[in-house]
Chains A and B, each alone.
Chain A
Amino acid sequence: MKQQMTKIAAVVILLVCAQYSQAQKVYATKTGQIAFNASSPIEKIAAINNQTDSKFVGENGQVIFAVLIKGFKFENQLMEDHFNENYMESTKFPKADFKGYITNIKDVNFSKDGSYPVTLDGNLTLHGVTNKVTATGTMKVAGGAPEMEGTFKIKLKDYKVEGLYIGEKIAPEVAITVKCKYQ
């Protein structure tokens, strides 16, 4: 009887440890995807970056996304050049990042496959300007591997991005879509 109790206790301790180590885990990717869409009725203006660096901590939801501005690919090279030189000044401000927390990380069960709504709260730094941003999205868990997806909007003027065509060919409000598969 005593032996059985000891075995049960050992199994319980192992399960608790496994759960704890899962929560402590830092999930990371260097090939996350961030896309933006500033299309207007006149012109399609969209780009994608497939080298997004992102990490989050399973236990407390601390999260970071970092992206190189020159890594955004447009369909049209001329548009990409204008984006970098005339609007984002990407030589002067080569990076953008979001640092914050997934505020409801406790609602995500990384041991159970499923789709969990998440809310992110933090600071977005773009074009040398930092603003508070709140975004909602989804954390999909499949086989212990999480994938975060979400879309939020920012106003270009809030980040001092200025240019001739903003409000005409370029939408003043830009939709940013994040899709990161973590390991």
Chain B
Amino acid sequence: MKKIIISVLLLGLIGGASAYYYAFVYMKNRKFDMVNAEAASVDASVLVKAYQENETSANASYLDKVLLISGTVSATDQTQMGERTLTLSSEDPFSGVMVTLDSAEAAAVNVNDQVKVKGFCKGYLSDVVVTNAIIVK
């Protein structure tokens, strides 16, 4: 009986420690592997048009998914945290794809460059917003 109680306590302890490690250590330090993540390919113009025509339907297809987006850089900037941003143009001069690059992404990008970026689609404001992105050669 004593052995059973000790075994149950030990299992509980190991389970609790594992859960704590998973929730507060592993998940805190885990970095999403964007390089090897599967991605749906889409042109920046097609993506913007999809959101402008039907945001709900576009969200069902693209929201929080990893996308590989092709387009032309119309502007470069940075967030207030210093992360680099690119805007990919679309057929609508007032709307594009606003891409925030991962802080580790070091590739040089200039206005008018044709690029492919891979990142998470976060939805649509005045632009389609893409974050955690990397440049794909």
User: Which A residues have a C-beta under 8 Å from some C-beta of B?
Assistant: 30-33, 48, 50-51, 53, 66-68, 70-71, 73, 75-79, 84, 91, 94-95, 179, 181
Number of residues in B with C-beta < 8 Å to the partner?
Answer: 28
Nearest to B96 among chain A residues (CB) is A30
Nearest to A76 among chain B residues (CB) is B28
A71 with B63: CB separation less than 8 A: no
If the complex has contacts A31-B85, A70-B63, are A94 and B123 also in contact, measured as CB distance less than 8 A? yes
Apart from A33-B80, A66-B125, A76-B23, list 8 A-B contacts with CB within 8 A. A31-B80, A31-B85, A50-B79, A50-B83, A68-B129, A91-B59, A91-B64, A94-B63
If the complex has contacts A31-B79, A71-B129, A91-B63, are A50 and B23 also in contact, measured as CB distance less than 8 A? no
Nearest to A95 among chain B residues (CB) is B123
B-chain residues with CB within 8 Å of residue A51 when the two chains form the complex: 79, 98, 100, 122, 125, 129, 131
Interface of B is mostly: mixed
A-chain residues with CB within 8 Å of residue B80 when the two chains form the complex: 31-33, 50, 179, 181
Number of A-B contacts (CB under 8 A): 72
A68 with B125: CB separation less than 8 A: yes
Is B57 interfacial (CB 8 A cutoff)?
no
Selected A-B contacts with CB under 8 Å, 23 pairs: A30-B98, A30-B125, A31-B78, A48-B81, A50-B79, A51-B129, A68-B122, A68-B123, A68-B124, A68-B125, A70-B63, A70-B122, A70-B123, A71-B122, A71-B131, A76-B27, A77-B27, A78-B22, A78-B23, A78-B27, A91-B63, A94-B63, A94-B123
A-chain residues with CB within 8 Å of residue B64 when the two chains form the complex: 70, 84, 91
User: Which B residues have a C-beta under 8 Å from some C-beta of A?
Assistant: 22-24, 27-28, 30, 32, 59, 63-64, 77-81, 83, 85, 98, 100, 120, 122-127, 129, 131
Interface of A is mostly: strand
A30 with B83: CB separation less than 8 A: no
Nearest chain B CB to A43 CB, angstrom units: 9
Q: How far is the CA of A8 from the CA of B64 in the complex (A)?
A: 60
Q: How far is the CA of A32 from the CA of B80 in the complex (A)?
A: 7
Q: Please pick, from A53, A67, A70, A77, the residue contacting B30 in the complex, using a CB distance under 8 A.
A: A77
Nearest to B128 among chain A residues (CB) is A68
Nearest to B132 among chain A residues (CB) is A73
Taking each of B78, B83, B100, B129, which has the highest tally of chain A beta carbons within 10 Å of its own beta carbon? B129
Nearest to B23 among chain A residues (CB) is A78
B-chain residues with CB within 8 Å of residue A79 when the two chains form the complex: 27
Nearest chain B CB to A150 CB, angstrom units: 15
A-chain residues with CB within 8 Å of residue B98 when the two chains form the complex: 30, 51
The 8 closest A-B pairs by CB, nearest first: A78-B27, A50-B79, A53-B125, A68-B123, A31-B79, A71-B122, A76-B28, A68-B122
